[in-house]
């Protein structure tokens, strides 16, 4: 530490601060004042116009001096603010005048979501569009087209040995259909048997029809239903015969978009399944079976097969599977 001469007043003289190394000289002088504050006037620190006038510059200069001469830098009066617990909290809900922020079920698509929660809103938008318009299907380069129609629609078949992206799209359609119909999850059952997805794609690139067909070896005839006076009795369970019949193709799931029903789309899909399920051969109608049809499915099967005694098989383990 250089020694500075004293003025006549008994104070330590202020060293001239030049432009070169001004910060270092100023730091030395500030450190000297730290040792004996009464001997150096405070106003002398900023007498030179070239002296650094920023607190940040002074602190930086003192840090350099501490490294060179092992002089302790003065503690700053600035205290870092403690991080508040609520600093990481972000607004997760958008208050747009909702009645409440609790989960609710959409009356159209049936999805349960939280209004105002961005991930839920985005997912609901996609599920809602799938329910209203059908699952989006942009197509594949090497898709297996079974039939094309004059209206611009086509039927595409997806099998287990197809590309992963094809199977992923087929499973997306199946999950959407199961969510709307409330059917049984068939994923575990399909792992142990051959199956195929048939998708009816509209001109607007939406899935408006769907069939999941699987390989079976037996089924049972539906017994004739007695005539009923009340239409509500038609929803009763279908009775099956006890004798097993030979079967080759099972219609595990069939679905037509509600805005495209009664236009012959179900017949187009069923014909495509029978004509292409086995390569090189057509499955006869009496070797094709439905799985536990709903009242609407019973009417469809009766019209398609021309009889109410069509074949039925069970999805779950039991005597009809």
Identify which has the larger pLDDT, 67 or 312: 312
Domain boundaries in the chain?
1-79, 91-133, 144-313
**Which of 129 and 232 is assigned the larger pLDDT?**
129
H helices present in the chain, as ranges: 22-35, 55-69, 118-133, 164-181, 187-190, 265-276, 295-305
In this prediction, residue 131 carries a pLDDT of 75
Q: SS3 of 87, please?
A: helix
Give 253-312 pLDDT, tens digit per residue: 999 998 899 999 999 999 999 999 998 899 999 999 999 888 889 999 999 999 999 999
Q: Residue 234: phi, psi to the nearest 5?
A: -70, -15
CATH code that applies to domain 144-313: 3.40.630.30
Mean pLDDT, range 217-231, rounded to an integer = 76
Q: Name which of 264, 261, 313, 269 is nearest 287 in CA terms.
A: 313
Backbone angles phi, psi at 272, to 5 degrees: -65, -35
Asked if pLDDT for residue 50 goes beyond 60, the answer is no
Per the CB < 8 A criterion, the answer to whether 200 and 257 are in contact is no
Q: What is the 3-state secondary structure (H, E, C) of 59-72?
A: HHHHHHHHHHHCCC
**Confidence class for position 188, pLDDT limits 50, 70, 90:** confident
pLDDT at residue 119 is higher than 90: no
Closest CA to 32 of 20, 22, 41: 41
pLDDT at site 63: 60
Q: Cα–Cα distance between 68 and 200 in angstroms, integer? A: 80
Strands 288-291 and 311-313: parallel
Distances from the Cα of 304 to the Cαs of 88, 170, 269, 294, in angstroms?
62, 25, 11, 15
Determine what percent of the chain is predicted with pLDDT higher than 70.
62
CA 58 to chain CA centroid, Å, is: 54
Instruction: Kindly indicate the confidence band of residue 29, based on its pLDDT and cuts at 50, 70 and 90.
Output: low
Sheet of strand 240-246, all strands in order from the earlier edge strand to the far edge? 144-148, 154-158, 195-201, 207-215, 249-256, 288-291, 311-313, 218-222, 240-246
- Mean of the per-residue pLDDT values of the chain: 76
**18 or 103: which carries more pLDDT confidence?**
103
pLDDT above 90: residue 250: yes
Q: What is the per-residue pLDDT for 229?
A: 54
Per the CB < 8 A criterion, the answer to whether 315 and 189 are in contact is yes
pLDDT for the residue 190: 84
pTM over 0.85: no
105 has a pLDDT exceeding 50: yes
- For residues 116 and 95, what is the distance between their CA atoms, to the nearest angstrom? 7
Looking up tokens 């302790």, which residue turns up?
A: 72
pLDDT digit string, tens, across residues 133-185: 788 898 898 999 999 999 899 999 999 999 999 999 999 999 888 877 776 77
Bridge-partner residues for 6, per DSSP?
A: 12
pLDDT of 81 over the 70 cut: no
Give me the pLDDT at residue 205, please. Answer: 92
With cut-offs at 50, 70 and 90, classify the pLDDT of residue 196.
very high
Residue 8, pLDDT score: 43
- Lowest-confidence range among 1-5, 52-56, 91-95, 277-281? 1-5
How confident is the model at residue 17, as a pLDDT? 47
């Amino acid at each position: 530490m250089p020694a500075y001469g004293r003025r006549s007043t008994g104070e330590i003289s202020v060293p001239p601060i030049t432009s070169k190394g001004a910060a270092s000289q100023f730091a030395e002088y500030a450190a000297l004042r730290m040792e004996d504050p009464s001997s150096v006037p405070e106003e002398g620190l900023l007498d030179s116009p070239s002296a650094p006038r920023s607190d940040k510059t002074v602190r930086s200069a003192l840090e350099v001096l501490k490294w060179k001469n092992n002089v302790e830098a003065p503690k700053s009066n600035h205290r870092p603010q403690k991080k508040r617990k609520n600093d990481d909290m972000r607004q997760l809900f958008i208050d747009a005048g909702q009645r409440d922020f609790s989960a609710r079920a959409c009356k159209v698509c049936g999805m349960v979501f939280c209004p105002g929660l961005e991930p839920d809103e985005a997912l609901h938008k996609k599920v809602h569009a799938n329910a209203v318009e059908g699952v989006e299907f942009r197509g594949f380069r090497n898709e297996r087209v079974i039939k094309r129609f004059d209206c611009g629609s086509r039927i595409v078949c997806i099998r287990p040995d197809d590309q992963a992206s094809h199977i992923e799209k087929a499973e997306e359609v199946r999950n959407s259909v199961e969510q709307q119909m409330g059917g049984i999850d068939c994923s575990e059952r399909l792992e142990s048997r051959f199956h195929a997805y048939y998708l009816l794609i509209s001109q607007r690139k939406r899935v408006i029809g769907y069939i999941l067909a699987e390989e079976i070896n037996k089924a049972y005839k539906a017994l004739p239903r007695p005539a009923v006076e009340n239409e509500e009795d038609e929803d009763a369970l279908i009775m099956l015969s006890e004798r097993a019949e030979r079967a080759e193709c099972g219609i595990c799931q069939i679905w037509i978009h509600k805005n495209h029903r009664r236009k012959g789309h179900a017949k187009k899909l069923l014909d495509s399944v029978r004509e292409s399920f086995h390569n090189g051969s057509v499955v006869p109608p009496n070797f094709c079976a439905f799985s536990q049809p709903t009242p609407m499915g019973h009417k469809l099967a009766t019209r398609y097969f021309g009889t109410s005694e069509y074949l039925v098989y069970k999805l779950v383990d039991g005597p009809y599977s």
